[in-house]
Amino acid sequence: MNRDFDVLVVGGGHAGVEAATAAARLGRRTAMVVLDPAAIGRMSCNPAIGGLAKGQLVREIDALGGEMGLVTDQTGIQFRMLNTSKGPAVRSPRAQCDRDAYNRAMVARVLGYANLTVVAGEAVALLANATGDAIAGVELRDGTRIAAPAVVLTTGTFLGGRLFAGEWESPGGRHGEAPAARISDSLRGFGIRLGRHKTGTPPRLSRASIDVSGLELQPGDDPPQPFSFRTERLEVQQLPCWLTRTTPATHALIRAHAHRSPMFQGRIKGTGPRYCPSVEDKVVRFADQDSHPVFLEPEGRDTDEIYPNGVSTSLPADVQLEFLRTIPGLEQVEMLRPGYAVEYDYILTEQIRGDLQVAALRGLFAAGQINGTSGYEEAAGQGLVAGLNAARFAQGLDPVVFDRATAYLGVMVDDLCRVNPTEPYRMFTSRAEFRLLLRSDNADRRLSLLGERLGLVGAAQADAVRQKEARINAARRWLDLQRQQGKSLTEWLRRPEIDLAAIAAMDPTFAAMQLSPAERSEVEAEVKYAGYIERQAMEVERLTRMEAKRIPAAFDYAGVVGLSNEARARLQQRRPLTLGEASRIAGVRQADVQLLLVMLAR
């Protein structure tokens, strides 16, 4: 085969978009193989971006030059900062988007890349080199063979996908769209082990049939804060959402028909997401609860569709309509489309390395739900990491592995590589032990200059971060030097009741700092939490020393006398990139790590 491309991305969802555009930004000749080019970036479920910890991921993607934050700002219809009553470590941005506008904008962004080619077709087989240990390209259903030394699989729920609602069942990856059925067999042919996961979506409702007069209004923030660091200011007319709740009558109906759910019938074998269960699952598992929240969220400016967040279901369509009409505000509701569940294949992640390369086949990378995760943001973050490393692999460069102290991206990938997720993985702030360092407001300062060095970020974006860093550092120095009543302004600001507005009242020359509201927030966080930040920084230094110990690709684990048999087998299978990654593999003991450390020192 001819070397047609440097990087080949299979799939055009959120992971595929960030993988392909990252590789293209790095100058690699990139192809994206999709079933339908018009579906690039389509939102399968809720048309919302961000949320708790997910917002941090999107800010990190943006800091590395990614697309998700920019398109969210371009197409958002409501913006909110969550957890504003809590500390800065757990505050996260969230935006409701116009579903169709987001899809169109993302298609335009992808097609705007000069060295990114979109290929319409279904990938049905992976192609290996003559020795069978490295990827060589993919074969399409029509027999076309596309060659590339690096391939990124971002198949989402389409990999062996099957849809369910009541007694109805059909192959599919999304409503009205066929699955990618044959690529699973190709993966198994290379000895790659697969599991099954399940997710679901709620019915879609007609806005005209909903009475919101008695419901709790959920407005956006005023002023709205943008997602992208590259968006200076949002000029947007925000749309409201509403909050209602299920009732005892809702739960009684669901319990009476739970036996008709394919989940309870045992027809769905895959495990669903613990933190976003179906409404029938919630009713059965939490029998002591007589009410659950339901958020009514518009799907766009020019559509009548409402997304009822909180009632994902795979019950029969007639039961769905019946229980919906027991919910306040929905007594006369019309259902535009019933909800359904989708079951799909994923790669058992003990086979994935820290650069998101599949250990069994050099040059094969995976990102998104194929790695056992859920959510647009988790998928997009993995896509960026996989696209970056696929491009570097094609160039013969060392991989880039984000560590847990640098980014939520590092936390997520490390979590996935360490333990096979028994359920779809979702990011939470509680998963990040250094979350005070990994705030959503400082993602650009943490990552953009690294992105510039890697080639992901342009000079203009990096220069803006340097200027921001200079302003924040100048403000910190000024606070240290200015004194009031025998104390520095830094000492005053550390008091819980004192904020920068109070500091400005104490010393009007503070206005000369010319900080933006976001920069003021960062200065406050760094001053008030300085002691905690210093302690976390010391722990990070210890972690960094461990992570920095690279393990050569051809390292001979069989030659390490004293390694446990389980550790040797798992290390040979996974081929970890660093000693830190090796230390977190299940079955590798601390004594094994010490032996490796000695051998690496030699």
pLDDT digits (tens, 9 = 90+) for 512-540: 888 998 999 999 999 999 998 888 888 78
Q: Enumerate domains of the chain plus CATH numbers.
A: 7-202+344-453 (3.50.50.60), 204-341 (2.40.30.260), 458-536 (1.10.10), 549-601 (1.10.150.570)
363 token code pair: 């040059």
pLDDT reading at 569 higher than 80: yes
CA distance 367 to 380: 8
Nearest to 458 by CA among 167, 103, 27: 27
> Cβ distance 529 to 496 under 8 Å?
no
Position 2 scores a pLDDT of 53
Confidence of residue 543 (pLDDT cuts 50, 70, 90): low
Q: What does pLDDT average to over the chain?
A: 92
Q: Coil, helix or strand for 49? A: strand
Residue identified by tokens 């990124």 is 152
pLDDT at 1 over 60: no
Quickly state the pLDDT bin for 247 (edges 50, 70, 90).
very high
- Give the tokens for residue 423: 């359920």
pLDDT at 265 over 90: no
356-369 per-position pLDDT tens digit: 999 999 999 999 99
Q: How confident is the model at residue 570 (pLDDT cuts 50, 70, 90)?
A: confident
pLDDT reported for residue 403: 86
Comparing CA positions, the residue from 56, 55, 57, 53 lying closest to residue 76 is 55
Helix (H, G, I), strand (E, B) or coil at 54: helix
Q: With pLDDT > 70 as the criterion, what percentage of the chain qualifies? A: 99
Closest CA to 390 of 59, 111, 98, 151: 151
**More confident: 99 or 286:** 99
Residues found in the chain: 602
**Largest distance between two CA atoms of the chain:** 80
Q: Which of 345, 343, 582, 440 is nearest to 82 (CA)?
A: 440
d(CA 278, CA 257): 14
Does the pLDDT of residue 587 top 80, yes or no? no
E runs forming strands in 62-148: 76-82, 92-97, 116-120, 123-128, 135-140, 145-147
Residue pLDDT, tens place only, 398-450: 999 998 889 999 999 988 987 777 789 999 998 888 889 999 999 999 999 99
Q: d(Cα 241, Cα 527) in Å, to the nearest integer?
A: 36
Query: Which strands, in side-by-side order, build the sheet including 150-153?
Result: 116-120, 30-34, 7-10, 150-153, 364-366
Distances in Å between the Cα of 443 and the Cα atoms of 53, 90, 406, 461 are 12, 13, 9, 13
Supply 378's token pair.
Answer: 């988790």
**DSSP assigned state of 89:** G
Where does 419-536 show beta strands of DSSP type E? Answer: 483-484, 487-488
Average pLDDT over residues 220-245: 95
Structure token pair of residue 591: 């004594």
- What's the pTM value of the predicted model, to 2 decimals? 0.90
- The DSSP code for 232 is -
What CA–CA distances, in Å, run from 387 to 154, 155, 159, 235? 10, 14, 19, 32
Mapping DSSP to helix (H, G, I), strand (E, B) and coil, where does residue 294 land?
Answer: strand
590: pLDDT confidence band, cut at 50, 70 and 90? low
CA–CA separation, 220 and 350 (whole Å): 41
- Cβ neighbours of residue 85 under 8 Å, at least 6 residues apart? none
Q: Other CB atoms closer than 10 Å to residue 495's CB: what's the count?
A: 11
Q: What is the pLDDT of residues 270-288, one digit of tens each?
A: 887 777 788 998 998 888 9
CA 425 vs CA 274, 373, 375, 378, 415: distances in Å: 9, 4, 9, 9, 9
Element (H, E) at 151: strand 150-153
